[in-house]
A and B are shown apart, each in its own frame.
Chain A
């Protein structure tokens, strides 16, 4: 059986909780050891989900741009949205995905502010669909521990 990174992190967390923290005389340091154990538990669980969550967020943002572009009154901006909807993640490393998420989120903020200023039912529909998408994207980001 292969030793998984998650298991290693779990082992370190258990050592901090059960063997290291109880043997520290300094209260501040013992508390830090307990916090470190909690942090390891959170990061252990987050690690498994991280790439999938980021890929899904980027896919969802591109879907919003594709949906919104036809309703945007500024043709240059509409073109930028269409172009962004056709992009792909440059790789699956966290840093690559984060850079892409940053670019897509900046455009989303711009789009959201734009439709808030536009009149009409279609603008309201897009505005509300962005908020619902943000709720969906946020849900799996919450720590599991």
Chain B
């Protein structure tokens, strides 16, 4: 006898929402559609209508579900914890509603949050991803990052964030983490990346003025903006941790998605300094720029393994690996040449 098909995802989401919302009745989930929301989580948008103690309610929501395997090996709850911690702060994030670890509901852990108005700026295929509003987008981009850097990390001490209980040597914790990722996932070693790691260890940066919440993937493509250019939400916090705020600046300036294509670099960094109350150590920032190329290389390595072993067959993953892997090895070579490595 064939196995019965599971209920459609809409029905299962509706059952879950009824379970979580007190007094909810007559739950209807519609317009469910998979959307591209990063390659580390499966992202769906949907509309929910229900009656709550007799009062009609309607919401556009986002479901973020863990993939079977993917780019980022992190605790699924990290992103949810951040959204809760930053709720109603001056750093715009979606309101997060429910975090669910029990796979009985939707096969894998997931969380549900508000759908925020706005659209992401695509990094490929256009010279103007911000519809002529790059001045406002760029200013908001750096201002929000500066604000994040100034924020007290105490509220996140027990949230499970990496380095949440560390007070120094953040650079080493991050480098150890990503080198271990390479050790685990690399099939054939990349000597370029390993050479960069040795250089980074031999030339450590100074400690930051104070620990900061590091987004971990702060870049064009990971925020939404409105028609007037204001940023309505900063998304994709799965790689968030406590660390050196220069890490996020360096990440934002990676040449694959650099914000300085659309907004003058010096003005951006000055905006960040104003928001954070901290002066940027340019030499230390250079250390983090090389680190960024190492971290991206590790991410592409994990993606490669996931696709190769069939754990994640998101086709965009394969494209990213084929293009971004060589791209970031070239970035490392250029940065090492600037450091005199080639004589």
Chain A positions within 8 Å of B, measured between CB atoms, are 26-28, 31-32, 35-36, 38-39, 42-43, 46, 98, 101-102, 105-106, 108-109, 112-113, 116, 124-125, 127-128, 130-132, 134-135, 138, 141-143
A selection of 28 A-B contacts at a CB cut-off of 8 Å is A28-B33, A32-B316, A35-B316, A36-B315, A39-B315, A39-B319, A42-B323, A98-B188, A101-B188, A102-B188, A105-B188, A105-B190, A108-B191, A109-B189, A109-B195, A112-B194, A112-B195, A113-B198, A116-B198, A128-B341, A130-B191, A130-B195, A131-B342, A135-B342, A138-B330, A142-B330, A143-B323, A143-B326
**B8: interface (CB < 8 Å):** no
B34 at the interface (CB under 8 A from A): yes
Closest B-chain residue to A32, C-beta based? B315
Residues from chain B with Cβ under 8 Å of A27 in the complex: 33, 35
Q: Could you list which residues of chain B lie within 8 angstroms of chain A, going by C-beta atoms?
A: 33-36, 187-192, 194-195, 198, 202, 315-316, 318-319, 322-323, 326-327, 329-330, 333, 336-337, 341-343
Interface contact B33-A42, CB-CB below 8 Å: no
Given contacts A27-B33, A39-B319, A131-B336, contact A105 B343 (CB under 8 A): no
In the bound assembly, the distance between CA atoms of A42 and B319 in angstroms comes to 9
Q: How far is the CB of B339 from chain A (nearest CB, A)?
A: 10
Q: Which of A32, A36, A125, A131 contacts B341 (CB 8 A)?
A: A131
Instruction: Give the distance in Å from the alpha carbon of A128 to the alpha carbon of B195 in the complex.
Output: 11
| Shortest Cβ distance from residue B51 to the other chain A in the assembled complex, whole angstroms | 31
Chain A min CB distance to B229 (Å): 25
Q: Which of B34, B35, B318, B330 contacts A39 (CB 8 A)?
A: B318
Chain B positions within 8 Å of A26 at CB level: 33
Q: Which residue from chain B places its CB closest to the CB of A136 in the assembled complex?
A: B333
Q: Are A109 and B194 in contact (CB under 8 A)?
A: yes
Of all chain A residues, the one with the shortest Cβ separation from B326 is A142
CB nearest to B190 among chain A residues: A105
Q: A42 near B322 (CB under 8 angstroms)?
A: yes
* Residues in B whose Cβ lies below 8 Å from that of A109: 189, 191, 194-195
Are the CB atoms of A28 and B189 closer together than 8 Å? no
Q: In the complex, what distance in Å separates the CA atom of A102 from the CA atom of B33?
A: 42
The residue in chain B whose Cβ has the minimal distance to the Cβ of A142 is B326
Residues on B with C-beta less than 8 A from A142 are: 326-327, 330
Inter-chain contact B326/A141, CB cutoff 8 Å: yes
Give the chain B neighbours of A128 by CB distance below 8 A. Answer: 341-343
Name the residue of chain A whose CB is nearest to the CB of B317: A35
- The reply to whether A138 and B329 form a contact with Cβ atoms under 8 Å apart is yes
State whether A28 touches B36 (Cβ < 8 A): yes
